[in-house]
């Protein structure tokens, strides 16, 4: 659940359609292929797409691709966006947006996506200790009907407490995966509150921003062989195995990888396999 919105647990992250996670680096997917991947994702049952206006490179805009591929949008499709980071027209990173600039960022997402409201807007936290003013500004946009639900990204427990004092929080997006422990304890904090926990870079592993797993862990390879699955599928299955409130938003511009990612939603790991893959604590042998 994202507030009152029900979504399938495997979603789609649009960032990689623009190139690498550094946005201005890497080779973006062919535009026609990217549009085909988005449409195929929906055909395969994906009903939660994560994007942002600052997902753009010299050749691609994630929001423009989504608009071209999926508008007019079906009633059951949930599009989540993020605001907070600011980039100039050349793609350079500027200072994080002030609270009074967030309305402009929300409206930019609306224009690019061709929508009259945004289903979910996540405040991407850029190192600030307090987010009360920023989240308060988004709450006003929610009250005005421009935004349906609010979330936070790159957050710590104190940020969640600050946000919840202002308006309901439906999701938290943090980096988390087999290689990336939940040092802030947000996985359990979200479970206790009935909030969706949405990890990013859950497949990327050591590569993180570059998107490539340079050397796969032997534990991941062993579980993959046991299930006849790919390492990426095992990583996604492990993520979903951490709780029913956990969603996944893997991104790709490759139709074959897309099909693999979606199929990972049906892969069930045993409790022993889940423990074996928790590389941040001493693994226990499979029985």
pLDDT tens digit string along 221-269?
Answer: 999 999 999 999 999 999 999 999 999 999 999 999 999 999 999 999 9
φ/ψ of 186, rounded to 5, equals -75, -25
Domains of the chain, by residue range, sit at 12-214+242-265
Active site residues: 55
The CATH number fitting domain 12-214+242-265, selected from 3.40.50.1980, 3.20.20.100, 3.40.50.300, 3.20.20.140: 3.20.20.100
In this predicted structure, the answer to whether residue 24 has a pLDDT above a threshold of 70 is no
In this predicted structure, the answer to whether residue 125 has a pLDDT above a threshold of 60 is yes
What's the Cα-to-Cα distance from 277 to each of 18, 80, 116, rounded to whole Å? 31, 29, 43
Residue 111 neighbours by CB distance under 10 Å: 12
Residue 214 neighbours by CB distance under 10 Å: 8
Distance (Å, rounded) from C-alpha 36 to C-alpha 20? 19
Residue 197 has what DSSP assignment?
E
pLDDT tens digit string along 70-120?
Answer: 999 999 999 999 999 988 777 787 778 999 999 999 999 999 999 999 999
Taking every pair of Cα atoms in the chain, the longest distance, rounded to a whole number of angstroms, is 57
């Amino acid at each position: 659940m994202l507030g009152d919105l029900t979504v399938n647990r495997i979603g789609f992250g649009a960032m990689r359609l623009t190139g690498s996670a550094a946005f201005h680096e890497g080779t973006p997917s062919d535009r026609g292929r990217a549009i085909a991947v988005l449409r195929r994702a929906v055909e395969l049952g994906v009903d939660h797409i994560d994007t942002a206006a600052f997902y753009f490179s010299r050749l691609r805009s994630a929001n423009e691709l989504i608009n071209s591929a999926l508008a007019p949008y079906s009633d059951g499709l949930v599009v989540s966006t993020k605001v907070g980071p600011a980039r100039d027209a050349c793609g350079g990173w500027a200072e994080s947006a002030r609270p009074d600039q967030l309305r402009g960022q929300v409206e930019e997402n609306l224009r690019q996506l061709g929508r009259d409201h945004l289903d979910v807007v996540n405040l991407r936290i850029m190192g600030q200790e307090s987010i009360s003013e920023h989240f308060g500004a988004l709450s006003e946009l929610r009250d005005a009907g421009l935004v349906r639900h609010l979330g936070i990204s790159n957050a710590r427990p104190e940020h969640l407490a600050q946000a919840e004092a202002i308006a309901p929080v439906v999701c938290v997006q943090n980096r988390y995966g087999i290689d990336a422990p939940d040092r802030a304890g947000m996985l359990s904090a979200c479970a206790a509150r009935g909030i969706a926990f949405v990890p990013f870079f859950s497949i990327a592993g050591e590569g993180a921003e570059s998107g490539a797993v340079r050397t796969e862990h032997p534990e991941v390879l062993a579980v993959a062989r046991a299930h006849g699955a790919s390492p990426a599928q095992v990583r996604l299955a492990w993520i979903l195995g951490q709780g029913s409130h956990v969603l996944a938003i893997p991104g790709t511009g490759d139709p074959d990888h897309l099909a693999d990612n979606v199929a990972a939603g049906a892969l069930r790991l045993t409790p022993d396999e889940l423990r074996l893959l928790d590389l941040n604590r001493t693994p226990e042998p499979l029985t």
